[in-house]
Amino acid sequence: MSAPALLRSSNGIQQISIESKLMSEQRQLFITGEINANSAIEFFKEVIYLNSEDGIKPISVFINSPGGEIDNGLLVYDAIIGSRAPIHMFCIGCAYSMGAVLFAAGKERYMLPHSKLMLHEPLLGERIGGNASSIKSISDSLLETKSMMNKLLAFHTGKTEKEIDKLTSYDHYFTAKEAVEMGLADGIKDFSAIMEGCV
């Protein structure tokens, strides 16, 4: 849990979380750690709230995530793409796997100089078991997911699906400079430049 911030109002001083203060006053959200059901629905609610407050002013999303569950990641993706207020993404450490897809989906996408992205094929989240028909069904579903993710990345990078398929055939890491060259990011900003654009 992060340290509390102090909120001064006509009712005196009260403590609120730093995340709440940044969200309400600066329209800044965070995607950190593994993407799962809890983090995805929390992000979804925050985007709804900020859109209800102002559907035009941009929302800044800072991501530092190793990735996570694809289905829950797609809920976050849909919120980013569907937000009326443009969402600007900032990679502040790493955005791996599903995290890289979410980062690439931003209206504007910037990376700190030493941050990294990583892409790879969808992975099975649990051990395979069952009969031959069940295993084939799992395999077919995984291939469909791979194709869908490749289409999303091709759309956001301007690359072909064939190029994306090659990039995701193994764990492919990108420095900030490489991410810009690949069309995964729009630019590199240092901490002070990010702060200037968020206040």
> What is the residue-level pLDDT of the chain in tens, covering all 199 positions?
455 655 555 666 666 688 888 898 889 999 999 999 999 999 999 999 999 999 999 999 999 999 999 999 999 999 999 999 999 999 999 999 999 999 999 999 999 999 999 999 776 555 555 666 666 776 777 778 889 999 999 999 999 999 999 989 889 999 999 999 999 999 999 999 887 766 5
Tokens of 42: 């929390």
Catalytic residue ranges: 97, 120
99 backbone dihedrals φ, ψ, rounded to 5°: -60, -35
* Domain that residue 82 falls in: 4-198
13: domain CATH number is 3.90.226.10
Q: Total domain count for the chain?
A: 1
Whole-structure pTM value: 0.85
